[in-house]
Structures are given as C-alpha cells and as structure tokens.
Chains A and B, each alone.
Chain A
Amino acid sequence: EAGVAQSPRYKIIEKRQSVAFWCNPISGHATLYWYQQILGQGPKLLIQFQNNGVVDDSQLPKDRFSAERLKGVDSTLKIQPAKLEDSAVYLCASSLVFTAKVNTEAFFGQGTRLTVV
C-alpha cells in the first residue's frame, strides 16, 4: 500500500518569498492533517480536513498560511510571505475516520524541510 506522499522534500527560500507544499494521502483516508514541527519540538497541528471540509484551523496563521483540499484527496499548503520563524519541517498525515470500534492511527509522509533565509 502506498504511503502518504509529500513534495518537495527540501526547500530553501528567502524571507518574504512564497512557497507551496503538496500532499497526497493514503487512498481512502478522509482525514488529512498538516503539522509544523520546529526542531526539538513536537508536531503542531496547523489544519485538519475531513474530505474537503476544514475541521480545525485554529492554529493556522491565516495572515500568511493557507491550505486547500478541493477534491477531498490531495492537498496544498502555502506560505506567503515566509518569515524566518517558518523554518521547520511540514508534515502531512492522513487517517481513516475514527469509529468507536477502530482506534485509527495517523500515517505521516516524510515531510518537507523548509529553510527560510
């Protein structure tokens, strides 16, 4: 079974530039998450989709970050304009919808390592 695909793996940009990340979840997974992981910290949820609807974006800096999942499958996360503090690994994860009978785990992609200089 194919895992969560992310691209690019690495990106270096200058501050104030824009950048976009792409994620293709595991087939059939309705829930898609974008996390930001700064070095030495745990992953921080930026946005969560169920199909093409947003479930939680309370920690997404909406003045510069945006995300979409138009057809309920793959997703893009954009930063415009980037700041130095956006340097982090951006992780995409997907899971089946939770049910009372199945404690569904989230599967992660390899992440995109962003460096803002």
Chain B
Amino acid sequence: RKEVEQDPGPFNVPEGATVAFNCTYSNSASQSFFWYRQDCRKEPKLLMSVYSSGNEDGRFTAQLNRASQYISLLIRDSKLSDSATYLCVARGFGNEKLTFGTGTRLTIIP
C-alpha cells in the first residue's frame, strides 16, 4: 500500500463548479500535511497547509480527518487558472520526511 494515495483523475470540471479531492495516508504517525500545486513542466509549489481544525484560503478549503486518515481539498467557483495537478503531502513524525501522492490532475473547462 502506498504511503499517500490519491485518485489520479483526470477531473474535467466546468468553470464555476465546485470540485473536491480526497487523499488517504497510511502512517498514522504522520504529523502534518500539505496540498501542493504543480503546473505542467513546473516545480511543485505550496497551495496550503492542512490543519486539524480545517482551514480556508479564499476559494480553497482543506480538511484533515485523523481518525480516518484522510485529507481533502475543496475548490469553490473554479477558475480556468486552477487547472493543474494537485499533490497531497504527508510529513513523517520525527524525521520530517515529506511523502507525496501521485497527484490529481484537474482541468477546468470554459
């Protein structure tokens, strides 16, 4: 079983729609989590950290469910510029190892 698992998609979503991604992790000791965004042929960049209480940044909302070991990302009112691959990341406990999922490819359709 992979340490961090994501549905690779692709997700093709009309502009203005709401889209949600889930990610599961296998190591219950993972201490922190992130969502990164990666544009085609570019490096990954931090989209947002994920906190236990859930957090929101504009149109983006991240949730963490430690009991079920999953993380979610919700994008509201999607824009064409949201088209990218979204990578789920878990940080290991004690060693700071950052483990990435395969990524979920999102395409926003005009």
Contact = CB atoms under 8 A, between A and B. Distances in A.
B97 A43 contact: no
Interface in B21-46: 31-32, 34, 42-46
A110 B4 CA distance: 23
Contacts of A98: 31-32, 91, 96
Interface in B68-110: 87, 91, 95-103
Sorting the interface of chain B by its residue count into under 10, 10 to 19, 20 to 34 or 35 or more gives 20 to 34
A98 B91 CA distance: 10
Nearest to A106: B98
A38 to B, nearest CB: 10
A95 to B, nearest CB: 7
A72 interface: no
Interface stretch (A11-19, A48-56, A63-71, A80-88): A48-56
A77 interface: no
B34 to A, nearest CB: 6
Interface of B: 4, 6, 8, 31-32, 34, 42-46, 49, 51, 87, 91, 95-103
Nearest 3 Cβ contacts at the A-B interface: A108-B43, A42-B100, A105-B46
Given A50-B96, A98-B96, 17 more contacts: A42-B101, A42-B102, A42-B103, A43-B100, A44-B100, A45-B98, A45-B100, A48-B95, A48-B97, A93-B98, A95-B96, A103-B32, A103-B49, A105-B34, A105-B46, A105-B49, A108-B44
